[in-house]
Copies of this chain bind each other. A is one copy, B any other.
Amino acid sequence: MYKVKKIDLCAGEFTVILHEKDAKELGVRNLDRVRVVGPKSSITAIVETTDSIVDTEEVGLLEIGFNTLEIKDGMNVDLMPTTRPESVDFIKKKMNGQELSQEEIRAIVKDIVDRTLSDIELSAYVTAVYINSMNLREITDLTKAMVETGDIIEIDKKPIFDFHSIGGVPGNKVTLLVVPILAAAGLTIPKTSSRAISSACGTADIFEVLANVTLKASEIKRITESVGGVIAWGGGVNIAPADDLIIRAEYPLAIDPYSQVIASVVAKKKAVGAEYFLLDIPIGQGTKVPDEELAKKYARDFMDLGERLDIRVECAITYGGQPIGRAIGCSLEASEAMMALEGKEVAGSLIEKACGLAGIMLEMGGVVHGSGKEYAKKLLDNGKALEKMKEIIQAQGGDPDIKSEGIKIGECKFDFITNTGGYIAEIRNKHLVKIARAAGSPKDKGAGVILKKKGGDKVEKGEVVFTICADNERKLENAKSIAQRLVPINIEGMILQKIPSYHRPSVL
């Protein structure tokens, strides 16, 4: 028997820290596995050896191990060496380019969710799927396995609608308009959203400025059934939990394996019982889907997958070559969305996109038979969407009387002034994201970038092109120097490039 000691480290896998002597005695080495048997339950954990953090006859377990085993510091556990799980063989099969069966995919997903796989094994899975991909049958089974290994939220107010934007466009706060518009039209939309991984901020980060987004499954059900819509953080509820664990390996490698993206998105929709699903695929420089060809492939595969899972999927390929609206950053975007709902003047791109997307769903739901977009715009103009937004904010514990101008923005500001006149030929999405992040987004809610000019706009020398906001001077300085180095906005004369004639007139 070994006495357990709590080691508070965050790791993606179950780890057991063993004294080198004990490891030798057990015949295990680093990265081997042991079964940790507690009084109530047992886990399989991956060995890391030490010669001082624990003593002999002591084992270190991380918090997650303590919780799962339901044990307390100082209690006794038993250890038994065990082999690597079968799922590692299935990962290897995918590395060898073979098709995986439903059972094999289930075993991998289960072991990911159970945190049985080490970082090395998880990374091999992600890399293998990135390189060798999965066919639609495998993606369907992957989606099902991701749904089955998490909670399922059953909402009684049917039919259920859902919506997702593939990432890459800064300023894409459309969800904050789409959800209240749909709910105002009487549709049910239990929207779960993500936080930023590499973007400036995710929808969950933005809506958190207005209300609580960390909701339990039961709260999502209750709020959706009573108000019609919810905007919750997907990571706060245990739906398709494999996704977050897989992201642990995708994030450092900065990859989004195609098949995994599709399965992860659809699994989260299936888990909330979505029957109608609209996918927004922004294309353009800096987005995740750079061109129309790939966007169409995504659209086809999402629709095919939907068919196999009884979800009616429609896709909208949208323009993502520059930010949506003018604001990038949590509070800035929350404020801009509220302005749109309040009927104040905002960039046309935001209204255009939000109403366009909401309109498609209104048509899918049979709410309107004419133009869904016009109907959506009406709900925005007549204040019904704002009213619904207030209900959602209140239901999620926020202040329903919040106004766009009442949202606190970072007080340290820097105006980026152009020293040349002309037209805005290009706004580089990725550079803006870097600047917003350097300014403190998404952690500092008030940080971000406000675009004073957008693509095609005319600017004069000395005009402000964009403003950086930050919560403190140090970060503002950092963001400012990055902005000056990267120059995220390209200003040129209307004639962008002059191609000289090959046959020049002779000068002789």
A residues lining the B interface (CB < 8 Å): 7-11, 17, 24, 27, 30-31, 48-53, 84, 88, 91-92, 95, 97, 118-124, 126-128, 130-132, 248-249, 251-255, 437, 440, 443, 475
Contacts and interface: CB of A to CB of B under 8 A. Distances in A.
B121 A252 contact: yes
Contacts of A132: 131
A69 B10 CA distance: 24
B443 A8 contact: no
Contacts of A131: 95, 97, 127-128, 131-132
Nearest to A122: B120
B123 A124 contact: yes
Contact of A84 (B50, B249, B252): B252
Nearest to A25: B443
A70 B255 CA distance: 36
A9 B48 contact: yes
B53 A443 contact: no
Contacts of A50: 8-10
Given A24-B443, A120-B249, A48 B127 contact: no
B8 A95 contact: no
A118 B253 CA distance: 10
A347 to B, nearest CB: 28
Given A121-B252, A131-B132, 4 more contacts: A9-B48, A92-B254, A118-B252, A120-B123
A440 B26 CA distance: 10
A344 B254 CA distance: 61
Most chain-B Cβ atoms within 10 A of its Cβ — which of A9, A97, A118?
A: A9
Contacts of A88: 252-254
Contacts of A9: 9, 17, 48, 50, 53
Contacts of A84: 252, 254
Nearest to A7: B53
A226 to B, nearest CB: 35
A11 B52 contact: no
B119 A27 contact: no
Nearest to A84: B252
B10 A253 contact: no
A444 to B, nearest CB: 9
Contacts of A92: 253-255
Nearest to A96: B131
A118 B119 contact: yes
Given A131-B128, A131-B132, A49 B118 contact: no
Most chain-B Cβ atoms within 10 A of its Cβ — which of A7, A88, A130, A253?
A: A253
